[in-house]
Structure 1
Amino acid sequence: MFQRGTTVSMATGNQHVENWADDGHPTEDTCTDIDTDDKNQCFSTVSWCNGVGDGALVVVDSHDQSKTRVKAEDQKTVRRLAQNREAAKKSRLRKKAYVQQLENSRVRLAQLEQELQRARQQGAFIATGIPGDRGHSSVANGALAFDMDYARWVDEHQRLIIDIRSAINSQMGENELHLLVDGAMAHYDELFRLKSIGAKVDVFHILSGMWKTPAERCFIWLGGFRSSELLKIVRNQLEPLTEQQLMGIYNLQQSSQQAEDALSQGMEALQQSLSETLSSSSLGPSGSENVAEYMGQMAIALGKLATLENFLHQADLLRQQTLQQMRRILTTCQAARALLVINDYVTRLRALNSLWLACPREY
């Protein structure tokens, strides 16, 4: 309770409120410069506390404190929402950039394939159009014909692989699967026949693997795959195998490795012989005698070069026999799975090559 005659005054901004207590009864409240609503708020938000330190008067505005707390919480929420929106925006931008990069890579890959096809066609056309250059034109046309035959072979091979994969997944009968495996093996024989024809026209084209992707050419050996490496891949993927099968695969791998080493040594000897022939000091064409000797030496070099076709034939024969021996060692289901393993390995090499070509370059 306040003592008689005590005057309490509170001023806030432009507001002024006074209370008088002369006889113990409150007098009429006066609130200037504020409207009725502000006047009511003025009295509803003020708490009076007596007895705090020598009768001091403490005024606490609870509404302002509550509003301050709400404002601080609202600011935190606003900041958190803003941060979330910024993070979502950055995520959308990164995703958009990634999708755009993939699309650019796809378009670039398609352009490269079109340019390669045009270059091959133009090369064949130019070679054909040069008068008196029938040798070059026939070689170019022969290489192009082989590339087209090989592309058709790949398409047909993929169809056979799809049939085999579907047969394994659907648990097709032994007889039906046996026919599919034999069909795929015969299809490999067709590839070796095409390579033999192509080598007669341009043995360098077949040996260098220009009909394959660059990634495949990194692992090429005498115009094709190494039989020993192929057996190693198959053996690691076809578990479990019986002891007899493991021994058969191991012996076949060892014999293939020995044959590959022999052919590689023969190729090195041929290259050395050609190098010595071409670097002979008597090949300087000055004078009629030297010219005749020069032509004789070049004829010898051409004769040695002709043995390249035999090396390619021996390498393909080794690959063909390795596939046939592997087929005899394995069961029909295992042979089907082995064909899938070989195809998957080659497919990954081609995919690796496509990714490499699609990667952006810094110049």
Structure 2
Amino acid sequence: MGDNSPRTDTSTDVEVDAKLDDGHQQVTGGSITSDHEAGTKNGDSKALRRLAQNREAARKSRLRKKAYVQQLESSRIKLNQLEQELQRARQQGLYLGSGSYSGDQIAHSGGGIGGANASNSGAVAFDLEYARWMEEQQRQMSELRAALQAHAADTELRGLVDGGMAHYEEIFRLKAVAAKADVFHVVSGMWKTPAERCFIWMGGFRPSELLKILLPQIEPLTEQQTMSICTLQQTSHAAEENLSSAMESLQQTLADTLSAGSFGSSSNVANYMTQMAVAMSELAALETFVLEADSLRKQTLQQMHRILTTRQAARGLLAMGDYFARLRALSSLWSARPRG
């Protein structure tokens, strides 16, 4: 009995120590498990946030793609409408001999179909109006040619000549409206065929040059008629030179305004905006030049109408129509030429 007591005490101490160790391990293990669960929750939260962000980015991407597809569809519809307008215009008789009124200028006038603005809309509207104007001119030229070949009376020719003069006044009116919408479109002559644009001057023909072309077609002339036409040609040429000089001065002024200051510097936005505002105000004179040039063309035609007899004026209008028709034919032949 005495021998067993020490062993019993020792065993009891060991058991107590073991229990304490087990309790410590249980507490420590519980702490580790809790930390692990917390870390897992944090990781899951980050993953959910990333998933939500990815879903939002994907949603925005789908919306952008949908908007882009809708814009393309809208552009396609507008382009189809424009092509249909061109097709109807061609079917209504825009072909003059071997040449025709080309629709490429209408395609260019709109800039970008999807981003059409008021300026582009005005240019496209003018091009379509010009197409209808060309159709009517073809009809008038056919009637005038038939009347001259049939040696019609002056009374019949006078009505055709007056109609032809009124028709040219109509195009001047249409150009005045178009210049307010997009003066660059009118000045550059994008509504004409390429060959016509080679001879364009401020949105149309030079009156003095046209008189040189018409003179051989309306002879014989009386001495008084010849003197009057020479005077008209001189005054027209002088007016053209004045307008051309004014245009050159405008171009130089614009160049000086836009080149003021240093390029590529955006440090002073106020100066830049002031510079652009000045250039815009200077550029407004361009519309005036177009209107003055058309006024000169109109006055030249009216003076010729007063100088010539009815039959001579009829031949002059027909010659002018044929000349521009040949320029359009030249454009068509040039476009269709073989390219080796």
Seen in structure 2, the aligned counterparts of structure 1 residues 117 and 260 have a Cα distance that, compared at 3 Å, is closer
Q: Is residue 325 from structure 1 mapped to residue 313 from structure 2 by the alignment?
A: no
Aligned to 1:126: 114
Aligned to 1:142: 122
Aligned to 2:135: 155
Q: Is residue 260 from structure 1 mapped to residue 240 from structure 2 by the alignment?
A: yes
In structure 2, distance between residues paired with 1:265 and 1:113: 32
Seen in structure 2, the aligned counterparts of structure 1 residues 280 and 121 have a Cα distance that, compared at 3 Å, is closer
In structure 1, distance between residues paired with 2:106 and 2:282: 35
Seen in structure 2, the aligned counterparts of structure 1 residues 118 and 188 have a Cα distance that, compared at 3 Å, is closer
- Specify the structure having the higher radius of gyration (Cα): 1
In structure 2, distance between residues paired with 1:161 and 1:124: 36
In structure 2, distance between residues paired with 1:142 and 1:124: 14
Aligned 1:1-363 pairs, distance under 5 A: 116=104, 119=107, 125-128=113-116, 137-281=117-261, 285-287=265-267, 290-362=268-340
Tell me if the contact between 2:108 and 2:190 (Cα under 8 Å) persists in the aligned partners: no
Provide the secondary structure at the position in 2 that maps to 1:157.
helix
Tell me if the contact between 1:199 and 1:206 (Cα under 8 Å) persists in the aligned partners: yes
Out of 323-332 and 292-301, give the one that drifted further. 292-301
Name which structure has the greater RCO, CA cutoff 8 Å, separation 6+.
Answer: 2
Which has the larger helix fraction? Answer: 2
In structure 2, distance between residues paired with 1:226 and 1:118: 24
- Aligned CA RMSD, in angstroms, stands at 2.2
Tell me if the contact between 2:110 and 2:121 (Cα under 8 Å) persists in the aligned partners: no
Tell me if the contact between 1:124 and 1:144 (Cα under 8 Å) persists in the aligned partners: no
In structure 2, distance between residues paired with 1:280 and 1:271: 14
Tell me if the contact between 2:110 and 2:120 (Cα under 8 Å) persists in the aligned partners: no
Cα-to-partner distance string for 1:249-293 (whole Å, 9 max, x where unaligned) = 100000000000000000000000000011112566543xx2111
Seen in structure 2, the aligned counterparts of structure 1 residues 126 and 325 have a Cα distance that, compared at 3 Å, is same
Structure 1 residue 179 displacement after superposition: 0.7
In structure 2, distance between residues paired with 1:118 and 1:179: 33
Aligned length: 242
In structure 1, distance between residues paired with 2:123 and 2:168: 20
Cα-to-partner distance string for 1:80-119 (whole Å, 9 max, x where unaligned) = xxxxxxxxxxxxxxxxxxxxxxxxxxxxx99x968x4894
Provide the secondary structure at the position in 2 that maps to 1:281.
coil
Seen in structure 2, the aligned counterparts of structure 1 residues 187 and 124 have a Cα distance that, compared at 3 Å, is farther
Tell me if the contact between 2:110 and 2:123 (Cα under 8 Å) persists in the aligned partners: no
Aligned to 1:63: none
Provide the secondary structure at the position in 2 that maps to 1:335.
helix
Amino acid in structure 2 at the alignment position of 1:127: G
Structure 1 residue 180 displacement after superposition: 0.7
Structure 1 residue 125 displacement after superposition: 3.5
Provide the secondary structure at the position in 2 that maps to 1:342.
helix
In structure 2, distance between residues paired with 1:224 and 1:197: 15
Amino acid in structure 2 at the alignment position of 1:214: P
In structure 2, distance between residues paired with 1:165 and 1:280: 57
Structure 1 residue 127 displacement after superposition: 1.7
Seen in structure 2, the aligned counterparts of structure 1 residues 118 and 269 have a Cα distance that, compared at 3 Å, is closer
In structure 2, distance between residues paired with 1:297 and 1:278: 7
Aligned to 1:25: none
Gaps of 5+ in 1: 1-108, 129-136
Tell me if the contact between 1:160 and 1:180 (Cα under 8 Å) persists in the aligned partners: yes
- The list of structure 1 runs, each at least 4 consecutive aligned residues, that deviate by more than 3 angstroms after superposition, is 116-125, 282-287
Tell me if the contact between 2:110 and 2:124 (Cα under 8 Å) persists in the aligned partners: no
Seen in structure 2, the aligned counterparts of structure 1 residues 312 and 123 have a Cα distance that, compared at 3 Å, is closer
In structure 1, distance between residues paired with 2:245 and 2:192: 24
Aligned to 1:50: none
Gaps of 5+ in 2: 1-97
Seen in structure 2, the aligned counterparts of structure 1 residues 159 and 113 have a Cα distance that, compared at 3 Å, is closer
In structure 2, distance between residues paired with 1:248 and 1:113: 37
Tell me if the contact between 1:181 and 1:332 (Cα under 8 Å) persists in the aligned partners: yes
In structure 1, distance between residues paired with 2:299 and 2:106: 37
In structure 2, distance between residues paired with 1:294 and 1:117: 34
In structure 2, distance between residues paired with 1:139 and 1:121: 9
